Structure 1
Amino acid sequence: MESGPAIFAGTAFALFGGALLLWTTVRVRQGEPVALGAAPRAAAVLAGLAGALSLALGVWCFGRL
């Protein structure tokens, strides 16, 4: 019964984290801003950390099954 919410949360975190990391990587490689009005390096680092943290949470959720 408890595996359903863990699977859903793990999938949501993993998809969001992976998509955020992919989007950040593409924006940095193209030289486009990651966040409007923010310092480019700081925005890329913070977005990368948020994506990695979300991906790690997804892996953690799947590990709890």
Structure 2
Amino acid sequence: MESGPAIFAGTAFTLFGAGLLLWTGARLKHRAPVAHGVSPATAVAFAALFGTLFLSLGVWCFGRL
């Protein structure tokens, strides 16, 4: 009964985290800014941190099934 919300949350977090990491990597590869108006090192650090955090949270939700 409780696995439905966990599957949805895990899927959402995993897709968002993976998408954020892929997008950040693509921006770095093309030497494009990750976020406008922010130091490039800070933007990459925060994007990588939150991408990893959301990806880990999604995997953790799937592990709770």
In the other structure, the counterpart of 1:44 is: 44
Give 3-state SS (helix, strand or coil) of 2:32's partner. Answer: coil
Q: Which structure 1 residue ranges, 4+ long, deviate > 6 Å from structure 2?
A: none
Aligned twin of 2:54: 54
**Any gaps of 5 or more consecutive residues in structure 1?**
none
Cα RMSD after superposing both structures: 0.4
C-alpha distance in 1, partners of 2:33/2:50?
A: 16
TM-score by length of 2: 0.98
Structure 2: how far apart are the matches of 1:57 and 1:34? Answer: 23
Instruction: Name the SS of the counterpart of 1:61 in structure 2.
Output: helix
Q: C-alpha separation between the residues in 2 aligned to 1:28 and 1:38?
A: 14
- State the match for 1:14 in structure 2: 14
Aligned residue-pair number: 65
Instruction: State the identity %.
Output: 65
**What's the TM-score once normalised by structure 1's chain length?**
0.98
Give CA-to-partner distance per residue, 1:19-38, whole Å, 9 cap, x none. 00000000011100000000
